[in-house]
Amino acid sequence: MSSMACGNGICRLILATTAATILTLSAFPSVVEGRGVLHDETADFRPHALANVYSNPVIADHILADPVVLRMNGTFYLYSTGDVSREDTPQSGMPDGMETIIFSSAEARRAYASSSPVNGGRTDCGYRVFVSEDLINWRRGPVVFAPPDHLCGNWAPHVWHDKSSGFIYMYYTHRESVGVARASSPMGPFENAKMLVDRAIDPFLLVDDDLGLFLYVVNIPQSHISVQKMVSPTELDPNSTAKVVLEHEDIPWECHGGQINEAPWVFRHNGTFYMLYSGSFFNVDFYAVGYATASRPDEAFTRNYELNPIMHRTDTVHGPGHVAVVYDDANEPWLVYHQKMEAVKMGQDRRICIDRLVIEPDGRLAVNVTRGENVVGPLINSSRIYPGPEMFLELEAQLAAL
C-alpha cells in the first residue's frame, strides 16, 4: 500500500511497509542505480533516491574522516574531519548555507568523486555538518565550528545533545588539544567554551545514566587511551585524575606504521562496557578496529584477543577505522566510519561508510565491512522505502500527472 502526499511543491511517497518488504529490496539490484543520490526536497521529487539499500561509501563526493553522528528529532547530523578550508571560515563568521548536490546516476556521482582534489590544501580548519534522514542519503550543510584563533588542525569531533539543558556540546580537537564548544542547534554555530586537555586528540564523551560523564581522549605522543570523570559537560572533575585505560600492547594489527591506539567509542551492553578502538597509523591499508571490555568505564579495558581486529582491510576495503555507533529505529546499532579509497601507503583519501554492528547473543561483536556492494540499510521508520520497479513506474506516472 502506498500513497502520495504533496505540499509546498514537495511530494512524499507514503508507504506502508514491513520488515519482509525491506528484506526483498536486495533482490532488486537495478533499484540501486542512483541510490545514495543526495536529494533536494525543494527540487524534483526523486523516488529512486530513497531506497534503503546502500553501497559504501555513502558520502562518495567529499573527502571526510573520523565521523560522529548525532540523531535529533529523527534527523541524523554528521560531523567529521575534512571539507573546511581556510576560505570557508573568514573571521567575520561562518558563511554558506545548505548545499545539495544531485547526481543523475551512480556513474555521475563516481565521476564527481574521482575528480575531487586530494590533499589540495588543508581542509581541517573547522567542522562542517552533513544532514540525513536515513544515514544513506546526505546533504552537505554549513560550517558549524571554526576555532577562535583561526588556525587549522581540527580533527575527529565528538558531539552530544544534553536533553536537560537543550545544548549540544561538541568536543573538538584543535592543534592536538581537546576543547569543548556549545550550540543550541545541531546546525551550529558552536561557540567555543574552553580547552579541556592539552596534548590530546579524539575526544569521546560517555554519558552513563548511573555513573555520570567520562571524557576519553588519546594522549599525544603516547597514542594510548585515557579517561577522566567530568562534573559537567564542560568541567573535568578536579578531584579525579586522568587514567590510562587502554595501554599499548605489542600486537601486530595495532602496530602498522606506528604503535597507535585511538578513536575510542564506549558503550554499555548487558552490564559490560565495550570500547571500540582503532589501531595502527590511520594512513595505512592496515588501519583496523578492535574492541576491549571492562566492568567499569574508568578501569583498564581488556582486549578481545581472539576476535580482534573485527574490522580490517579486505580485497576491496582499505584502512577501515574510526567508528561511531548510531542506532536505527529497530534499535540496531550501526557503525559510521571511514575507509581509505586506495590501498597506497600515506593515502589520505578517506570517505564516510556505514555498516551494521552485530552484538551476538553471547556478547561478542562482529562487523562485515563492505565497499561497492549493495547492502540492506538501517531501518528508519520515516524513510520512504523504494517499493520495487513496477511501483516506481506507477509513481513516475502519478508524478507526471500532477
Chain contacts with ligand NAG (rule: CB under 6 A): 73, 231, 237-239, 270, 329, 356, 358, 363, 366-368, 381
How many Å apart are CA 309 and CA 115, to the nearest integer? Answer: 32
Among residues 78 and 152, whose Cβ is nearest to ligand NAG?
78
Min dist CB 125 to ligand NAG, Å, is 28
CA-to-CA dists, residue 32 to 57, 80, 286, 336, angstroms: 14, 26, 30, 20
Min dist CB 275 to ligand NAG, Å, is 17
How many Å apart are CA 167 and CA 102, to the nearest integer? Answer: 32
Min dist CB 108 to ligand NAG, Å, is 30
How many Å apart are CA 290 and CA 322, to the nearest integer? Answer: 10
Three-state DSSP at 276 gives strand
Among residues 104 and 165, whose Cβ is nearest to ligand NAG?
165
Burial of 171 (0-12, 13-18, 19+ CB in 10 A): buried
Torsion angle of the four alpha carbons 393, 47, 134, 41, in this order, in degrees rounded to the nearest 10: -170
Which grid coordinates are listed for 213?
A: 560523564
Min dist CB 151 to ligand NAG, Å, is 32
Q: What are phi and psi of 65, to 5 degrees?
A: -150, 170
Min dist CB 195 to ligand NAG, Å, is 18
How many Å apart are CA 348 and CA 65, to the nearest integer? Answer: 9
Among residues 121 and 363, whose Cβ is nearest to ligand NAG?
363
Q: What is the DSSP string of 149-194?
A: T----EEEEEEEE-TTT--EEEEEEETTEEEEEEESSTT-PPEEEE
Question: How many CB atoms lie under 10 A from the CB of residue 386?
Answer: 24
| Nearest alpha carbon to residue 221 among 301, 304, 281 | 281
Among residues 7 and 238, whose Cβ is nearest to ligand NAG?
238
Min dist CB 32 to ligand NAG, Å, is 17
Min dist CB 17 to ligand NAG, Å, is 9
Among residues 41 and 237, whose Cβ is nearest to ligand NAG?
237
Among residues 104 and 314, whose Cβ is nearest to ligand NAG?
314
Burial of 193 (0-12, 13-18, 19+ CB in 10 A): middle
Min dist CB 395 to ligand NAG, Å, is 23
Min dist CB 343 to ligand NAG, Å, is 22
Which grid coordinates are listed for 234?
A: 564542560
* 3-state helix vs strand vs coil in the chain, percent to 5: 10, 40, 45
Among residues 288 and 367, whose Cβ is nearest to ligand NAG?
367
Among residues 190 and 282, whose Cβ is nearest to ligand NAG?
190
Among residues 197 and 375, whose Cβ is nearest to ligand NAG?
375
